[in-house]
Homo-oligomer: A and B are copies of this chain.
């Protein structure tokens, strides 16, 4: 199991390229990922799980030192700081661990204002039929954009918990109108060089309908907003329109299980990277312009261990995709040689590329 076997088959030049590309590759981890997660039935804690912000970011610092990857950490508000004083404290903790702020997520589902407003938040955030909740949601977004600048980040992530749990709860037409208004009010606060990534989710927390259920809807919204808005997650056609903003990495077996990346279906992760590498090589969109973030829950194993495992799975998939000779593949495709084309990809997938990773620090 060593590098020479791979060089013998694929050549020294390609192996060198792969090692350089793996070294350049950056992926972000979320601060919440260093805490234990659970289901609606509850969360199990284990001895050694971080209890404080200091302990949580210390884990992120360990990850950075062990892998050389993930200097930027995705942050979520109000989870990571509920006010500007806490932001200042957070800044110090980041610095102490050699970390930087990555994507800034406005956790609109965590808003629990007091009084009459609080009694209405269960009906939605940016698309709530009540105008005061919509205003409060936009205000929270604008606050997060301020935090983003204070922490030196350029990336604002919008994931909407809005949806409905019953027929009749809300009109799809009103929902779409409110969404475009409040998204535009948020978008207008962004400056040149800053971007807004828009995530979609088929269901949950809404179980009857979801405000942004598909990449098609997210793309519609990005087009309505302007060039600083991009879709978070998904591949292929999006790349063609330069609208692919980023990837949230995780794996699943049933619904949205948020399991460790590549732990269930490593061949799918390889296929995704094949599209990314092919798109990059054709000049459709550079891999370095796409934001890659691990976004998974850690319920049973140690969170740090599972984060390390996920990074390795990502780098393995990327390295295997880099083994593919896409010029040769395209030639086979154009000559309708399907078995040959498939064999090229299978060969790359079956190759044990771990020797190429050992020298990249992971």
Contacts and interface: CB of A to CB of B under 8 A. Distances in A.
Interface in A157-173: 161, 164-173
Given A172-B236, A263-B167, A203 B257 contact: yes
Interface in A3-58: 5-6, 8-9, 37-42, 44, 46-47
A123 B1 CA distance: 34
Contacts of A37: 40
A80 interface: no
B253 A300 contact: no
A336 interface: yes
B339 A305 contact: yes
A166 B253 contact: no
Interface in A320-351: 329-330, 332-336, 338-339, 341-346, 349-351
Nearest to A167: B345
Interface in A95-140: 109-110, 119-123, 129-130
A295 interface: no
A286 interface: no
A95 to B, nearest CB: 30
Contact of A278 (B44, B171, B316): B171
A65 interface: no
B123 A300 contact: yes
Most buried by B among A8, A41, A171: A171
Given A122-B44, A309-B342, A173 B257 contact: no
16 contacts: A1-B8, A122-B299, A129-B334, A166-B300, A166-B338, A167-B274, A167-B342, A167-B345, A168-B343, A169-B333, A171-B333, A204-B254, A255-B255, A301-B342, A309-B342, A351-B352
